[in-house]
Structure 1
């Protein structure tokens, strides 16, 4: 601790001189003290001297300088695989007793020298270690990404990964760059079992998600058998207890693999549940992988979509791939030159489609302007894509709810920012966050004028500036839905989605939501409930609802209730939460099976009811790989400077980590300056001096 001043410290003697001069002039020749004890005058002079000198010193701006030193222990992160595959091939009692005790000893041993943080991971990440081993999927790369987010600015000493090395979600952890940024070694604890044991496995069932009523649809079944040569099993396919297919399998190899094609008939609409089963054999390591449930959504028709473009463009390929993932859509690609007529003839032809996508039409030189007007006149929903080839003046004349003035052929680079007030369809917070990092689109430069009745989904962020200009918006003209994507280069969003997440799901989901909203027929009912018709058993059930008054305006004053009913006629009541102008419900997780729901709202003394059905699909992926992947664990430890340890030797990690020279505490020094005048004791010293002087003067009879 050190005392410094804002003004030069050599002014201090002047403060003393000022205090002495003040006391001298006040008390030296004051005749009122002649009858008093001489010590009284001296005491008062000393008090006044001290008081004035101290006040003068405070005018110099004195500061107390202190240095604080903080030592941060190395953080040791222990991540426990909580997935179902860990228990396959091993008595679960071992992991809940011996292993649990060993893990507790490891945590206690490391905690004496380090700061220990524990997590459980599987299809999600939770703080603390769980020994339930009930997660339905394993995502090691998500674990690494979360650890980087939380500990990127911390002194991470080591990461201890306790796993069987089997992952079935996310990218390969070997190629995850985020964990390497922590500059910490990874120690892997090998769980599970690598021995090959007797087992017959329904390894994979390939099938389409959709089928059409009355059509045959194919299944391709891959089955495996290990250490069961000479045995027989039977493959059966059943639906609602009815046997649809059966085949006897002769296992003639120790490592037997066979692919079996099956044809089934779609004889009912809705989500149809089929169960494939292999008869069990004696001494199998697991029976859960003998059964696989599949769900086929049987439809009785497709929605037709026309993608009409001015010229070939990479955006068209990206849009095609996203739309064709949904077998409920029949996509037709055409170039402008392939349409020879316009006017009423074209309008009648356009009525055959559920959605028309116009890519950079109308084009420069007024190309396609009549055809675009015919498309609008057909009453079919339209999605416009703008770009360098677009005729902006021709586009402005169509009344899409968006006009761009002063474009002049110039362009801007604009990133996407989700409009929080958008409510035509929902996106979760994770998707909104991911969209902020998508590459910019090339948009026309100009002043964007959006109709008051339009709904802006994405706004433009140009450079670092968030604008109110629409990037993606929707508008309804004479009850016809119109959408505008005001830029080109959307193909880059698809590539970026795969680069960041090793999947195109972000881009595909975005296009799917836009197409679904535009293509779906208008529903003028006053109460609507939205949800998926199929959920995974480890997925939360989310529902959205909308209520409209007699003027067809969104309201959310009345309470919305829902009852979910399972196949055993058990009822689960819920109440929706109000959000903005709509409603949302998170019903949590429910067991796999078929469910119905009934939602009810009271509006203007009228009770409105909405019903529906959905299926929760079991996640069985953890049981289909029964042999632990120690090679992955070894490679992870080798790549990141650690070591693979057997689960029985887990206690050795305490000595192993403690002996490393590169895992050390970090000392942080912080300099702090505090003004002396802000200290409480300064006030009380001044108060004491003033009070003492006043008391002595009063006692001496001098006021």
Structure 2
């Protein structure tokens, strides 16, 4: 406690003593026990008040030992089993985690990683992909202001995520890789990548882009072939040399039959080639004989039109044209779906076609919509405007049930331009988005899905939705949020059979590393989503007779099931609604592709570059003792003693106030009892 504070306390005590003495102990009362007691109580009261004013404090110092953080990252992918490193990695992980020298110097954590990083309880080596950059990035985010050491046990072959060699490192983050697997470089022919569209149209030519490479010091000639349903459709000789180790080939094939086609790309292996798994690649192609034709009709030239066209055509089964309602060609008359952008009186003929043909439509209205025409030409919805332009923000409707919106993130989405007014929708509808004006949610829809007897309709209130696509890219680095929403709207409009109460969504083929997901939606007799139904899925291989039964789980507006434990093959399934005779069937293929088998040699050179960039060193599985000695002898990882100083109040105000109150009350009681008041 500082000296001046002690002096103030002494002077305060002296002042309290003098006041109590002056008030109660003149010469005539000094021998009275009553007045001595009253003087003591008055002294304590005054001295307590003075202590409250002075508020004396002192500094408390505590000492802590801070150790550097040591994280052991263990590759849990299936490539560790393929390279016979599983047993070795388990032994090394146990040695590092239980080493007394490391525990005395570091705070040791063990983590496993494959596609994701997670705390290590046991190593199964079952992950179907290796993402090394994600755990390194996560550890970088927690290494702020403190030394961290990362021991990376892996073969260095990354099959998912950004290149870990080029992620940035903080000066205090050191990485020490331990290279697992076979470090011998073998001569190898490899299919690096095959690019092919998922869909092709009957009698059309489609391209297959093939990237091949060769690892070795000599030269090799191989045969590149492409087959469809077992029939060879393309063949070409390719010669690799030291100067040209990579060759790109584009094969153009004709789609001759409809349905799901098996496409196999293969590169003929040479004698005694160690890894032949990466010499072939299996894909699936769905050949269809028609597209869904969608026409965007607008009298205006606006960026919304291009944004909608680009988003819709992400699905190759859809073809979009942009035309004017005054166009002599009238391309919109042959369309399967229409998008009407800010209709005016020029759309009279378009609405005649809508009524006679029963075509579903998405109507986008905004400040330049002719509302007197719109209110007269159709009876689905109407609006009486106030003539006041306003910016309206979207608000996601959590109770929307027609399709899944759980992945639709509208964070920081800009407002659309619109006019305020009273909106009336005469038909049965659900709003995907509601309107929010100046932070206040108003009871008006922004994007509404309308169910009709003959056709479906959708209505978007506001222009400049192209800004949403830009914001989607800013939020996530891609356009999937916006494009996915538009795709769901188009799918809703494209429902041809309104009597079908059970709908299915699934892909026709899945890569082996991905889980096959089947989505089902069941509607009641009024075509509203039924979340109380019980759906069962029966699935089997095509050549088998018995099937496996799975209950489908209710999620956000749909029933779903992920099939993640099935081997490669052709499957067929049936979804049944319990208690009814409603069923739907389908089929899909899980392709035989294991990305972890593409490489057999460890990428020790890349691991060494990673270590050098972070200030660490690379080691091998037989150098674990050297690694422990290196970490134990580095001065930058010594435990640090840190002192923490806390300024603590000497007195507890609540106790002191209670004591003052007790002294004053006792003094008053004694004076009252003895007739001094």
TM-score by length of 2: 0.75
1:472 paired with 2:447, answer yes
Closer, same or farther: CA 59–481 of 1 in aligned 2, 3 Å: farther
Residues 548 and 383 (structure 1), Cα distance of their counterparts in 2 relative to 1, 3 Å cut = closer
Distance 1:126 1:618 in 2: 27
User: What does residue 69 of structure 2 align with?
Assistant: 75
The whole-number CA distance in structure 1 between the counterparts of 2:348 and 2:650 is 76
Q: Tell me the distance in 2 between the aligned counterparts of 1:537 and 1:555.
A: 33
Q: In 2, Cα distance between the equivalents of 1:466 and 1:654?
A: 64
Q: Distance in 1 between matches of 2:553 and 2:16?
A: 69
In the alignment, the residues of structure 2 paired with residue 161 and residue 53 of structure 1 have an alpha-carbon distance, to the nearest angstrom, of 68
- Using the TM superposition, give the Cα deviation of residue 582 of structure 1 relative to its aligned residue in structure 2, in angstroms: 5.0
Tell whether 2:198 aligns with 1:209. Answer: yes
* Counterpart residue number, 1:598: 574
Which structure 2 residues correspond to residues 271-290 of structure 1 after superposition, within 5 A?
271-290=260-279
What is the Cα deviation at residue 609 of structure 1?
2.0
Task: Give CA-to-partner distance per residue, 1:197-218, whole Å, 9 cap, x none.
Answer: 2222233333221123455544
Cα offset, 1:304, TM superposition: 0.6
Mark the runs of 5 or more structure 1 residues left unpaired by the alignment. Answer: 3-7, 21-37, 341-345, 684-703
The superposition leaves residues 215-242 of structure 1 with CA deviations (integer Å, 9 ceiling, x where unpaired) of: 5544344443444746656746363xx4
Correspondent of 1:442 among 392, 416, 419: 416
Q: Please point out which of 159, 177, 181 is paired with 1:189.
A: 177
Match of 2:295 in 1: 306
8 Å contact 2:19–2:43 — kept in the other structure? no
Report deviation, 1:425. Answer: 1.5
Q: State whether structure 2 residue 494 is matched by structure 1 residue 515.
A: no
Aligned 8 A contact 2:211 2:249 in 1:
yes
Going from structure 1 to structure 2, the CA distance change for 1:400 and 1:602 (only over 3 Å counts) comes to: same
1:700 aligned partner: none
Pair 572,198 (structure 1): closer, same or farther in 2 beyond 3 Å: same
Tell me which residue corresponds to 1:608: 582
Residue pair 1:540, 1:587 contacting (<8 A) in 2 also: yes
Counterparts of residues 385-424 of structure 1 (less than 5 Å):
385-386=364-365, 389-391=368-370, 403=383, 405-406=385-386, 408=388, 410-412=389-391, 414=393, 416-424=394-402
* Closer/same/farther in 2, CA of residues 265 and 371 from structure 1, 3 Å limit: closer
What's the C-alpha RMSD, in Å, of the aligned pairs? 5.4
Once residues 672 and 521 of structure 1 are traced to their aligned partners in structure 2, the CA distance between those partners, rounded to angstroms, is 76
Q: Measure the CA separation in 2 of the matches of 1:674 and 1:473.
A: 66
Corresponding residue for residue 120 of structure 2: 128
* Change in 2 beyond 3 A, CA 1:129/1:373: same
Give the C-alpha shift of residue 399 in structure 1.
5.5
Q: Write the distance in 2 (CA, Å) between the matches of 1:229 and 1:609.
A: 58
Distance 1:16 1:302, change over 3 A: farther
Asked if 1 retains the 8 angstrom alpha-carbon contact of 2:74 and 2:89, the reply is no
Residue of 314, 323, 342 corresponding to 1:361: 342
Matched-pair contact (CA < 8 Å) for 1:218–1:262: yes
> CA 1:250–1:354 in structure 2 vs 1: closer, same or farther (change >3 Å)?
closer
SS of match in other structure, 1:338: coil
Instruction: State the number of aligned residues.
Output: 650
* Cα deviations by residue, 1:389-416 (Å, 9 ceiling, x for unpaired): 54566666656658584352x34273x5
Kindly indicate whether the alpha-carbon contact (under 8 Å) linking 1:79 and 1:118 is maintained by their aligned counterparts in 2: yes
Distance between the aligned counterparts of 2:430 and 2:63, measured in 1? 53
Structure 2's unaligned 5+ residue stretches are 3-7, 22-32, 659-677
With over 3 angstroms needed to count, the CA separation of the structure-2 counterparts of 1:401 and 1:55, relative to structure 1, is: farther
Shift of 1:599: 1.9
Match runs of 1:76-475 below 5 Å:
76-84=70-78, 91-92=84-85, 95-96=88-89, 99-100=92-93, 103-104=96-97, 109-128=101-120, 132-143=124-135, 146-147=138-139, 151=142, 155=146, 157-173=148-164, 184-187=172-175, 189=177, 191=179, 196-213=185-202, 215=204, 217-227=206-216, 229=219, 235=225, 237=227, 239=229, 242-245=230-233, 247=235, 249=237, 253=241, 255=245, 257=247, 259=249, 261=251, 263=253, 265-269=255-259, 271-336=260-325, 338=327, 350=332, 352-358=334-340, 360-362=341-343, 366=344, 368-370=346-348, 373-374=351-352, 376-377=354-355, 378-386=357-365, 389-391=368-370, 403=383, 405-406=385-386, 408=388, 410-412=389-391, 414=393, 416-428=394-406, 431-433=407-409, 435-437=410-412, 439-444=413-418, 446=420, 449=423, 451=425, 453-459=428-434, 470-475=445-450
Cα separation, 1, equivalents of 2:516 and 2:600: 30
User: Structure 2 vs 1, CA of residues 655 and 496 (structure 1 numbering), >3 Å: closer, same or farther?
Assistant: farther
Could you tell me whether the CA contact under 8 Å between 1:574 and 1:587 is conserved in 2? no
Distance 1:58 1:670 in 2: 21
Aligned CA distance change for structure 1 residues 258 and 633 (closer, same or farther; 3 Å):
same
SS of equivalent to 2:484: helix
Is the CA contact 2:68–2:639 (under 8 Å) kept in the aligned structure 1?
yes
CA distances 1:510-560 after superposition (whole Å, capped 9, x unpaired): 332232222232432233343344334333444443333344443333422
Structure 2 CA distance for partners of 1:261 and 1:246, relative to 1, 3 Å? closer
Query: C-alpha separation between the residues in 2 aligned to 1:246 and 1:504?
Result: 35
Pairwise mapping of residues 678-697 of structure 1 onto structure 2 (< 5 A)? none
Distance change in 2, residues 1:235/1:467 (3 Å): same
Q: Given that residues 74 and 93 in structure 2 are in contact (C-alpha distance below 8 angstroms), is that contact kept between their aligned partners in structure 1? A: no
TM-aligned CA distance change 1:550 to 1:413, over 3 Å: closer
Going from structure 1 to structure 2, the CA distance change for 1:19 and 1:283 (only over 3 Å counts) comes to: farther
